[in-house]
Structures are given as structure tokens and as C-alpha cells.
Amino acid sequence: MTTAKAIWWQNLTAPDLLAHARKDDIAVLPIGAIEQHGPHCPCGSDDFNAIGLAEHLSARTGVMLLPCPMYGSHPFHHWGMPGNIPLRFETHIALIEDIIKGAKVAGFNKFIILSAHGQVSSTIVAVHKLGLANIFTLSLHWYDFLRDQKTILETGMWHADEAETSMALYLYPQFVDMSKADKGGGAPLVDKRFIVGPGMPAGPGMMYHFEGTFARPEVRELKNGIIGDATRATVAKGEAMVTTVVGYMADLIEDIRSRYAPGVNPLETEPPADSPWTK
Ligand SMILES: [Zn+2]
């Protein structure tokens, strides 16, 4: 872990935060959820994954990290699963809005939500509500930055599986019991060829996996709380995933820094004469 070099908001004084924002006004908000992760990984896995990725990112780029709220929102099919504590969508949207609006008061103008849990149903709404409030916010799931996952993983990325368990083994092995790792999963309500799974490259005739009621409630569907194959998890895969995600995120931060000086709100800049979309 890189805790010592990560810059966390909650560890600093208000004058320190103001001084940081004058030099670099980007802040990253890691978010996860409280959710069961099978018999082998802890219920805080998504928070720990978000926090671990954020710490590696901050150690590499010097970016400010906002404190991670432990609770998140959940797709409908997670509700009622023992171990899960879902926030209502409205609660989670308001939580994100309030955190980012609060951080803006200290001089931060660019925000990146780093999610390690399937909660685009609230994060995307929060982004657009913040846009209406003139606040620049990007929201990504680490799956989005692992579209080259086949170079690292043998299976897709779902839940408490090869991907998440590998990251857990790399970031917080003390909470993982591989003797209980297993395979599991259910079946989608339409053929899987129509569904873009997490981090999968999209193809023709496919919908993103949160664009429909594709799943039965997990409490009826899942036998062991796993979707995928946790037995294939390794520390090396976890390290490769973290390095890949942090690499792309560092590029994104560099792009934002190169375009907009500290103190500049990207939403208030003038458009260039030539549109890059027509090239
Ligand atoms: Zn998870």
C-alpha cells in the first residue's frame, strides 16, 4: 500500500487544502459500497478497492483524495441480499452532490469520481445535476479502464470473482480467505450476446449491463454470492489491474492539467475554433 504518499483531505488542515488547490484544483472521490462479496472477501471490498486504487493514483500524481463514504447505491437486484446495505438512489445522488459542492468551497474546480461498485444509476445522475450547478465532474468505474482486461484476466469482470478477488489479494490480503473462494453466478434474463458486461468492449447490437432489468434478485439467484470464478484470482493479476487503471487515470489527470490551469473552471472556457469531432 502507498498510504504514506497519498494525499487525503481528512488528514490536512483547511489552510493546507487551500494552498493545494491553488497549485492543483483536481480532487478524486473514491466510492464503493457495503456489499457481500461471497464467503471469501469482506463486505467492504468495493470501498477498499476504490481506496487502494485512489491511494496508488495519489502517490503517483499528487492528486487530492476526498474521504470515501463507505455506503453506496445498488442496482435493484442487490436489494435484500444479506450483507448489503444499499442507500436509496436519491440518498446517494444527494451524498455525491453535497461532497463535491463542499469540496468546491476550498477552491477545487475539477472532480473525478472513482467508483469500484456498480452504481452508475446514481453517479451519472449526480454528474448531470452537478453540471447544472456549473461543476465539472467525471465519473468512472475502474472496469471502464480495464477494457484491455483480456491481457490480464482469464474470465470477465463481475462480482467477488477473479477480478475483484485479485485486487483484494493485492490490496488487502489480510481480509481474504482463498480456502473459501469458489465459482458462482446466475443467468441473465435475455441472451448474454445482447449485454455489454463490465469493462467489455461494446459491439453491435449490445446494451450496457445496467440498461435493463437483466437479472433476477440476487437473493434468489446466487448460491454463494459470487458471479464468476474467484478461484482464478492471484496477487499478480491484482497488481496488473491496479497498475493499468492507475496508468489510464494518471493520463486523464495529466490531460486535464495540460488543458486547464489551476483556478480555471473547464465549463467556463471558450470552445476552440476547430472541432476535434469533425477530424
Ligand atoms: Zn465488488
User: Residue 25 falls within a domain, yes or no?
Assistant: yes
Strand 7-8's sheet: what is its strand order? 7-8, 64-65, 26-31, 110-115, 136-141
For the chain, the domain total comes to 1
Range of the domain at 142: 3-264
User: Residue 70 falls within a domain, yes or no?
Assistant: yes
pTM: 0.96
> So what's the pLDDT on residue 2?
47
Cα 45 to averaged position of ligand 1 atoms, centre (Å): 6
Three-state DSSP state, 271: coil
Cα 242 to averaged position of ligand 1 atoms, centre (Å): 15
User: Residue 205 falls within a domain, yes or no?
Assistant: yes
User: Residue 54 falls within a domain, yes or no?
Assistant: yes
Cα 253 to averaged position of ligand 1 atoms, centre (Å): 25
Alpha-carbon distance of 126 to 112, in angstroms, equals 12
Cα 160 to averaged position of ligand 1 atoms, centre (Å): 6
Q: Residue 78: name the closest of 39, 113, 42, 119 by CA.
A: 119
Cα 146 to averaged position of ligand 1 atoms, centre (Å): 15
Q: Residue 183: name the closest of 153, 158, 161 by CA.
A: 161
User: Residue 272 falls within a domain, yes or no?
Assistant: no
Cα 278 to averaged position of ligand 1 atoms, centre (Å): 39
Which residues crowd ion ligand 1, with CB under 5 Å?
46, 164
Cα 117 to averaged position of ligand 1 atoms, centre (Å): 6
The CATH number for 66's domain is: 3.40.50.10310
pLDDT digits (tens), the chain, 279 positions: 445 699 999 999 999 999 999 999 999 999 999 999 999 999 999 999 999 999 999 999 999 999 999 999 999 999 999 999 999 999 999 999 999 999 999 999 999 999 999 999 999 999 999 999 999 999 999 999 998 888 999 998 999 999 999 999 999 999 999 999 999 999 999 999 999 988 888 899 999 989 999 999 999 999 999 999 999 999 999 999 999 999 999 999 999 999 999 999 999 999 988 888 887
User: Residue 271 falls within a domain, yes or no?
Assistant: no
Cα 33 to averaged position of ligand 1 atoms, centre (Å): 8
User: Residue 249 falls within a domain, yes or no?
Assistant: yes
Cα 52 to averaged position of ligand 1 atoms, centre (Å): 13
Cα 123 to averaged position of ligand 1 atoms, centre (Å): 16
> So what's the pLDDT on residue 275?
87
Cα 12 to averaged position of ligand 1 atoms, centre (Å): 29
> So what's the pLDDT on residue 78?
96
Alpha-carbon distance of 183 to 244, in angstroms, equals 25
CB 68 within 8 A of CB 50: yes
User: Residue 279 falls within a domain, yes or no?
Assistant: no
